[in-house]
Structure 1
């Protein structure tokens, strides 16, 4: 979810567990911040909108240790005076490393004071259910953070492992401070049930170094998960006969690509696609437009433009600039959460062929209220796998849950709650996944 006004800037400790090339932990500034708006300018009688308003300060953070407080206004970082753009402040902080010091000039109660900030590491995960190991893999010239969890009390035995593959977009799966985070809850469920897990952060996200995430592409991202799968094979505590992949959303598209040629025990996907991007996207655009109750004639016009724009972008391999020169009204239609080349590469992947090559059991899950994925894709996965290996794949439709695991009954109800801050979740899908994983270990 995106927050236009405020966000938590959590800019990373040398890994507690070494890797071939250690990846430093990112720094933890720990400020809830926002730019100066008209209301704040009036309230604090500011001459302009230059500076950063501190809405709150997180525990264990660099800002807390330096004595910054809620309602402070940061007006200068070392010798750089801040303008009205939040991005300037964020960009300045990215230059600092662990142990570096910086002087923040702060406006507090109408007076300027200086606070020395010493940059501390981002906290690491702790859990009653597992031990977390921070390591790294190299892929496509990038150094990617891996987080490996091992169930507590399992040191005398080998344990099954699940490679977790997240959805589309530039975000980190390393969020130790957000206990209610969906990914964290999935990892907790697997750990309580005796499964080790691995997450691989995308390039440029979290601790990962290399290509900025928004400039990366599909194959680059897939190479990171492949490197993670290769690293799992080197872990002495893993039962190498019981390695699984769980892909959520676009992670389910990545899953058969990552698993190709690998002896994984099984693959679980949730809320995914198995057709080309164009075929999927056209259905998705029409469905969502109808849920939003757009006039049907407007939808038809929209679909004509979308079809033409997607053809130029994904079949003709034109750039967005070239597409918009032809269809200037298509800007919102070809705006994606990743670089356009990422979507072009998805379009080029023959997903049916990828699933056909697999020699493993598959569970395809979809929430009945999901308006982002479709049953046709999940049934297609099952059909492709079962054509090669009869009975090896199952498609299961789950009631009262949507794409983001919100507890709702219909797609319309789901889309109305799309921006709700704390919707009720339905985690029954994890019961289904765990039962299936256990059954496959006995095959």
Structure 2
């Protein structure tokens, strides 16, 4: 969840489907990873997806995009918004700095293929929620017989507004995990957030709060349980990162056989962010003294943001908070903080996550990677397991994966991981031999054990 090291894939998806008389319009694909360049002079391209618009236009890693359709570009979020305003077939022109060269690249916005796999069926579907259509994807084992019902795993992604469609990133670590699950006989389900990927409607991921996003995931759960090949009494939830926070709240609204989480958090968001500026900062090289000073500086801003009803405009114009904003400890872009609307985390902070877990009566698996910098330490997992087992002994299980990070990547040492992050070679979308397959195997084994009880 550290914004500096978050790799965003700008892959705005294309699919057209007719389900329950509902349509999702074709949406465009650009296909890059990037961050703001130094001094906000454009967007530094970190990677380009194959078969994408960017690849077709010969955009390369290391290029700096300074103008997009004659509009000056200063950060990656702005670039995302500019792409999302386009349609497939629209003309596109970019001004790009490549080393000492200034280039003009032109082309048209392209569409993108759907996910496919030879060993299981992938169903593109639509979930209706109020004035919104959400794209869902169902992985169905090939050996399901007529009238047979299978247990299912509902994957819930982390906090970003990034698409979960992996048509162009089939080797993504999370995709490899989900493949492990479906090839072991489970139906796998995932759903896009509001206005992400193919999803369309009134609500936008970048504008909503935590509760509204939860409503979308609940709509997905209801849709999943309606498939005639799914055993609605044997649906598991796997939440990765912040996805693990949705899970116990979701369980209060619908029956869940078991919950598995990886790299989640149990404490209030305010407290978690204090850990970010203290414990996590030290992992990234901040001195203990500087981290302590940063915590004291940021506390009033966090309080105003997460523990009040003050408007963001008022907070940003508070002279008492000016120094904290100018320190750039929080990644703020307009009304976005950590690339979500400021109300998203404010709303999340109102949830008593510990109590939600205490209210959950099913089986739970907490998985932690020893190199998970975003989760900071294994305390979140051990505390979570101990909390649940204090009420229901034996209900919660803890598994720790050596040398494994938040993105399910495995490195010999923590220094190797940090070097990869700092050099730009860290990429869960193309992990090579770094993907830790033990995580998927542990998840499958746990679900099988729960079903056999």
TM-score bin (small chain): 0.7 to 0.9
| Residue aligning to 2:246 | 254
1:82 matched residue in structure 2: 70
1:440 corresponds in structure 2 to 450
Tell me the distance in 2 between the aligned counterparts of 1:29 and 1:196: 30
Deviates more, 1:312-321 or 1:144-153: 312-321
Structure 2 distance, partners of 1:283, 1:328, is 22
The answer for the alignment partner of 2:269 in structure 1 is 277
Matched residue, 2:157:
166
Alpha-carbon distance in 2 for matches of 1:312, 1:33: 31
Equivalent-residue separation in structure 1 for 2:382 and 2:49 (angstroms): 48
Query: Given the superposition, is the C-alpha separation of residues 227 and 11 from structure 1 closer, same or farther in structure 2, using an over 3 Å criterion?
Result: closer
Distance 1:70 1:303, change over 3 A: closer
SS of the aligned residue for 2:22 comes to coil
Asked whether the 8 Å contact 1:148–1:196 carries over to 2, the reply is yes
1:310-354 alpha-carbon deviations (Å, 9 max, x no partner): 112111233444344222232333332311111111110011221
Q: Which residue of 1 aligns with 2:178?
A: 187
Task: Give a deviation string over 1:33-74, Cα, whole Å, max 9, x none.
Answer: 99999xxxxxxxxxxx99xx9x98954x6799xx96679xxx
State yes or no: 1:345 paired with 2:347. yes
Q: Tell whether 2:216 aligns with 1:206.
A: no
* Equivalences, count: 415
Deviations 1:140-190 (A, max 9, x none): 643211111101122433211111001111200012011121232122111
Q: Report the 3-state secondary structure (helix = DSSP H, G, I; strand = E; otherwise coil) of the residue aligned with 1:327.
A: helix
Choose 324-333 or 397-406, whichever is displaced more: 324-333
Distance change (3 Å), C-alpha of 1:36 and 1:322:
closer
The superposition leaves residues 11-33 of structure 1 with CA deviations (integer Å, 9 ceiling, x where unpaired) of 62422x62452323423466999
Shift of the alpha carbon at 1:106?
A: 10
Query: 1:288–1:416: structure 2 CA closer, same or farther, 3 Å change rule?
Result: farther
SS in 2 for 1:353: helix
Aligned to 1:328: 322
* More displaced 10-residue stretch of structure 1: 399-408 or 288-297: 288-297
Change in CA separation of 1:242 and 1:297 when aligned onto 2, cut-off 3 Å: same
Cα deviation code 1:88-124 (max 9, x no counterpart): 98767645556xx5566899xxxx9997x5x764211
Contact 1:268 1:364 (8 Å CA) reproduced: yes
Please, what TM-score do these two structures have when normalized by structure 1? 0.80
Please give the residue correspondences for 1:299-310 in structure 2 after superposition, counting only pairs within 5 Å.
Answer: 299-310=291-302
Q: Say if 2:134 is the partner of 1:144.
A: yes
Q: Which runs of 5+ in 2 are unaligned?
A: 61-67, 96-103, 332-337
Q: Post-superposition shift, 1:9?
A: 6.1
SS of the aligned residue for 1:298 comes to: helix
8 Å CA contact 1:168, 1:337 repeated in 2: no
**Structure number with larger C-alpha Rg:** 1
Aligned pairs for 1:3-18 within 5 A: 10=12, 12-15=14-17, 18=19
Q: Equivalents in 2 of 1:236, 1:411: separation in Å?
A: 46
Aligned residue number for residue 44 of structure 1: none
SS at match of 1:170: coil
Aligned to 2:389: 386
SS in 1 for 2:181: helix
- Could you tell me which runs of 5 or more consecutive residues in structure 1 were left unpaired when the two chains were aligned: 38-48, 72-79
Contact 2:372/2:406 (<8 A) preserved: yes
* Match of residue 436 from structure 2: 426
Q: Corresponding residue for 2:207?
A: 215
Q: Distance in 2 between matches of 1:302 and 1:27?
A: 41
Tell me, yes or no, if the aligned pair for 2:15 and 2:198 is still in contact at 8 Å: no
> Which whole-Å CA distance do the structure 1 matches of 2:11 and 2:272 have between them?
35
Tell me how far apart the structure 2 counterparts of residues 237 and 63 of structure 1 sit (CA, whole Å). 39
Q: Offset at 1:289?
A: 2.1
**Structure 1: how far apart are the matches of 2:31 and 2:296?**
46
Pick closer, same or farther for the CA change 1:137–1:301 going to 2, 3 Å.
same
